[in-house]
Chains A and B, each alone.
Chain A
Amino acid sequence: MAKTFTLDASGIYYRQLNEQIREAVANGATKIVLNNVNGQRYIADALVGDLEFEINGVPGQDMCSFMRGPRVRVKANAQDGVGNTMDDGLVVIEGLAGDVVGYAMRGGKIFIKGDVGYRVGIHMKAYMEKLPTIIIGGKAGDFLGEYMAGGILLLLGMFSDKPTEPIAGRSLGTGMHGGVIYVRGEVPAEQIGPGLTAQPVDEADKAVIEELVKEYAKELGLNAKEILAADFVKIKPFSHRPYGNLYVPA
């Protein structure tokens, strides 16, 4: 039985808000409902374990940074830096999100219904059983998946407020040396980083996409069949050592 802690965040500075959340967790709360959130930073930062968050309102920068385990649902838009260096857990954003979502994320999942800003999923890293995953229902800004070293980025381009924009901005996957970026439909070649190409997905990829989309659709109340009713392409690194030949040999 979840012990619920409900807090009206209006007018509370982030430092006090987060102190109260940590205190509630220390006192055994397992479900935290935050109402009237209005830009408070660092919510759920570095929290650990089987916790559930419901955030009503727009949370501020660096939500869920260094987080390991909690499931966080934002019933609005989110700002920049969601899931910065996140270790584990689930973040569901029912609106759109800003820049650098999932910077150096190492594990867990981030599901965003709408568009995202620049440099989302950069430096993502997979290690052993940890496989960070970001699914973006809308479109992405420049440098999606830059320096990506592991994990999965899935870009759907469906629930976007930017009808005239390409599905992904410039330099998609530039410098990536691990992981995979899946895109629903097509991605213009000129948007993709140097040395990379969009390739058709194979059966194994399809199985991964299908499983992820089902989970995503369930969390966001969307129709998985509709999402899957299109072809997907994948962008993979051409080397796990992209700059290995840059230097005078020793």
Chain B
Amino acid sequence: MLFQPINRNYHDFTIVRDKDLCINCKVCVRQCSYEAHYWDETRQKVMADNAKCVGCHRCEALCPTSAILIQKKHSDFKDNALWRPEFIKYIYKQADTGGVLLTGMGSPVNIPIYWDKLLLDASQVTNPSIDPLREPMELKTFLGCKPDKLEFSKTKDGSPKLKTKLAPQIELNYPIMFSAMSFGSINFNLHIAMARAATELGICYNTGEGGLHKSLYKYGKNTIVQVASGRFGVHRDFLNAGVGIEIKVGQGAKPGIGGHLPGVKINEMVSQTRMIPLGSDAISPAPHHDIYSIEDLHQLIFALKEASEYRVPVSVKIAAVHNVAAIASGIVRAGADIVAIDGIRGGTGAAPGMIRDNVGIPIELALASVDQRLRDEGIRNRASIVAAGGTRCSADVVKAIALGADACYIATSALIAVGCTLCAKCYTGKCPWGIATNDARLAKRQNPEVAAQKMVNLVRAWGHEIEEMLGGMGLNSIESLRGNRDKLRAVGMTDTEMDILGVKHAGR
């Protein structure tokens, strides 16, 4: 080819094929949904088009002779601290198409990760540590509004009886839930897997904003149903199907931007669940146009409470943005029982890259400031806080809880558990791992049984680790860690950062 767009030369990956090992079995050709591998009739062998490789490593993982290696392509751009290769490539793409840059998953850019700069405490000599393998350890978590005070009356035999009427709670065996990923953005096999895993673990998964397929209503005791501005699949049965209702106002990966499931991903089953026509775009804009104020939010919260006859707590999910503490305070005052905060590193099935990488704030700072603000205002008991966005391991969960979270939402971790390699091309609908795709040929790569087991394994493993860390600190209940920032120390932070996080520097 004499001429090709400059774009083609500056792709991200190179497919290295070991000629001695390759047996031309074409597994890679069948596995690659981006058609980076192909069978060359003339040469009678498997060839590759590097420009099409997205770096998902599916071929590498499934090659029976381990003949394939996916490597980063080292383009020879001249070193430039300002014009880094990603910016040069963005411009080439946009100059070719005039389009908005779309991407998937959480932001990969180098925004400070405070989890890595926070260290946990452990007991030595005094207040001895606890061995969770042999002593009771409580991870049980209740999400919902807690009373300001408890009142008791005496029964005839003189024993006390609780007089205060408690608000509805979501009961979790671990302080972890599977975060909202709509049916449509990920396929049905993974929704079954999440529902089963949540049921087996005694936690909850969130439906996301794409409704709930009829066959999943039976997992209702472990389901939080989500209502977003597009109200896809939202009706009274849906609202009453789970143990909680979440109003999605914002998402960490795209604060201020709505959801937009392209028509090509709306297949028969997605169409049924969302109750919209086949192939039609599902547009869910950032604003709920019936919410322009805290009073309006109050109105929707109570419309949902009326519709569910006050049986379940109502959560409001927002993206972590500059004034998150004041916003969260308003949300609690509007009557929300749970505030879910999604940080800048939260995942997505599709978001404009500029938004994902530049809008919002890290969850650690948002969480700490919201918890502090609600305490200062004396309303922390009125709502639980759920932290989301880039929880990578059990230590992140422990740190989040010490910063004030009641529980963490995980989504990217759950997808990695079933094979996601963070190639970030979810928005194409061609996920070679069978996750962010509704193509039946690809979706069947996820077996719901196997996927559920992997999610269960992950949360159980984290649960053990959380117990170990708690025990090490001399705590026997997750409740004793909530907002207990004395169990955290900072390394390499500024005074301002430590002030916001409410932690001392290591050594103090």
Contacts and interface: CB of A to CB of B under 8 A. Distances in A.
Interface of A: 15, 18, 22, 41-42, 45-46, 48, 61-62, 65-66, 68, 80-81, 84-85, 87, 99-100, 103-104, 106, 119, 122-123, 125-127, 130, 143, 146-147, 149-150, 175, 177-178, 240-250
B306 A241 contact: no
B283 A240 contact: no
B289 A248 contact: no
B231 A85 contact: yes
Interface stretch (B16-24, B91-99, B115-123, B150-158): B91-99
Given A85-B234, A247-B99, A65 B307 contact: yes
A62 B308 CA distance: 15
A113 B411 CA distance: 48
B99 A249 contact: yes
A84 B280 contact: no
B260 interface: yes
Nearest to B279: A240
B277 A104 contact: no
B428 interface: yes
9 contacts: A42-B306, A65-B307, A66-B235, A103-B289, A103-B290, A123-B289, A147-B285, A247-B100, A247-B352
Contacts of B234: 66, 85, 104
A235 B308 CA distance: 37
Contact of B307 (A46, A99, A245): A46
A84 B302 CA distance: 13
A204 B271 CA distance: 27
B128 interface: no
B299 A244 contact: no
B331 to A, nearest CB: 18
Interface in B257-316: 260, 262-263, 271, 275-277, 279-281, 283, 285, 289-290, 299-300, 302-303, 306-309
Given A84-B290, A127-B277, A45 B99 contact: no
Given A178-B280, A244-B281, A246-B100, A123 B231 contact: yes
Contacts of A66: 234-236, 239, 303, 307
A217 B428 CA distance: 49
Contacts of B231: 85, 103-104, 123, 125
Contacts of B262: 241, 244
A177 B280 contact: yes
Contacts, number: 131
Nearest to B425: A250
Contact of B276 (A22, A68, A125, A246): A125
Contacts of B263: 240-241, 244
A127 B290 contact: no
A81 B306 contact: no
Nearest to A47: B236
Contacts of A247: 99-102, 352, 427
Given A100-B289, A150-B276, A178-B277, A248 B303 contact: no
Contacts of A248: 93-94, 96-97, 99-102
State the majority secondary structure of interface residues on A.
loop
Given A42-B302, A81-B299, A119 B289 contact: yes
Contact of B309 (A22, A87, A125, A147): A22
B502 interface: no
B229 interface: yes
B236 A48 contact: yes
Kindly name the residue among B93, B285, B428 whose own CB sees the greatest number of chain A CB atoms within 10 A: B285
Contacts of B283: 147, 149, 175, 177, 243
Given A149-B276, A177-B281, A240-B279, A46 B290 contact: no
Given A81-B299, A241-B263, A247-B101, 5 more contacts: A15-B306, A62-B299, A175-B285, A247-B352, A250-B428
B289 A122 contact: yes
Contacts of A122: 289
Contact of A242 (B235, B281, B290): B281
Contacts of B229: 123
Contact of A45 (B307, B352, B428): B307
Kindly name the residue among A65, A99, A130 whose own CB sees the greatest number of chain B CB atoms within 10 A: A65
Contacts of B307: 45-46, 65-66
B230 interface: yes
Contacts of B285: 147, 175
B236 A246 contact: no
Nearest to B352: A247
B454 interface: no
Contacts of B93: 248
Nearest to B94: A248
B430 interface: yes
Contacts of A178: 277, 280
A42 B303 contact: yes
B235 A68 contact: yes
A123 B430 contact: no
B235 A249 contact: no
A122 B231 CA distance: 11
A246 B98 CA distance: 8
Given A103-B289, A248-B94, A248-B101, A243 B236 contact: no
A125 B425 contact: no
Given A81-B290, A241-B262, A250-B425, A125 B275 contact: yes
Nearest to A177: B281
Contact of A106 (B99, B275, B290, B306): B275
Nearest to A68: B236
A46 B110 CA distance: 47
Contacts of A149: 276-277, 280, 283
Kindly name the residue among B96, B230, B289 whose own CB sees the greatest number of chain A CB atoms within 10 A: B289
